[in-house]
Amino acid sequence: MKRILTTVGLVASLAITAAGCGSGSDGNGAGGESAVEVKAYYSAPITQFALASIADANDLFPSSIDVDVQGGDSTTGLALASAGRVQFYLQAAPVPEQMVSGGADVKWAGHWQQGIDVVFLGRNGVESVDDLKGKKFGIIQKGLTLSVMGNEAIRRAGLDPNDLTQLPLGTLPAVNAAFASGTVDAIVTDRASAQKLLSTVKDGKIIFDFYEEVGWNGAGVTVDTAWAKKNPEAAAAFMEGLQKALTMLRDEPEKAKTSLGKTTGLTGADLDFALSNFAEHSTETIQPVSEETEKSVLEVMAAEGNAWAKPDFAKQMIGDPALLSRVSK
Based on its alpha-carbon atoms, the radius of gyration of the chain, rounded to whole angstroms, reads 19
Domains 2-116+216-324 and 118-213 share a fold: yes
Q: Report the candidate in 66, 68, 67, 64 with the shortest Cα–Cα distance to residue 33.
A: 64
Indicate the pTM of the whole model.
0.85
> What is d(CA 105, CA 297) in angstroms, rounded to the nearest whole number?
19
DSSP states of 147-192 as a string?
Answer: HHHHHHHHHHTT--GGGSEEEE-SSHHHHHHHHHHTSSSEEEEEHH
Residues of the chain with pLDDT under 50: 1-26, 28, 30-31, 329
The whole-angstrom separation of Cα 163 and Cα 174 is: 23
- Distances from the Cα of 74 to the Cα of 5, 94, 111, 189, angstroms: 13, 12, 18, 13
Question: What pLDDT is stored for residue 114 in this prediction?
Answer: 84
Domain regions of the chain by residue span: 2-116+216-324, 118-213
- Whole-number pLDDT of residue 327: 82
Q: Is 212 exposed, middle or buried (0-12, 13-18, 19+ CB in 10 A)?
A: exposed
Q: What pLDDT shows up at residue 300?
A: 94
Q: Which amino acid is at 91?
A: Q
Candidate CATH numbers 3.40.190.10, 3.90.1150.170, 3.30.470.20, 3.40.50.2000; the one for domain 2-116+216-324: 3.40.190.10
Fold of the domain built from segment(s) 118-213? D-Maltodextrin-Binding Protein; domain 2 (3.40.190)
pLDDT of residue 201: 96
| Nearest residue to 323 via CA among 216, 218, 225 | 225
Q: What is the rounded distance in angstroms from the CA atom of residue 93 to the CA atom of residue 301? A: 10
> What pLDDT was estimated at residue 8?
36
Dist. CA 308–CA 128, nearest whole Å: 32
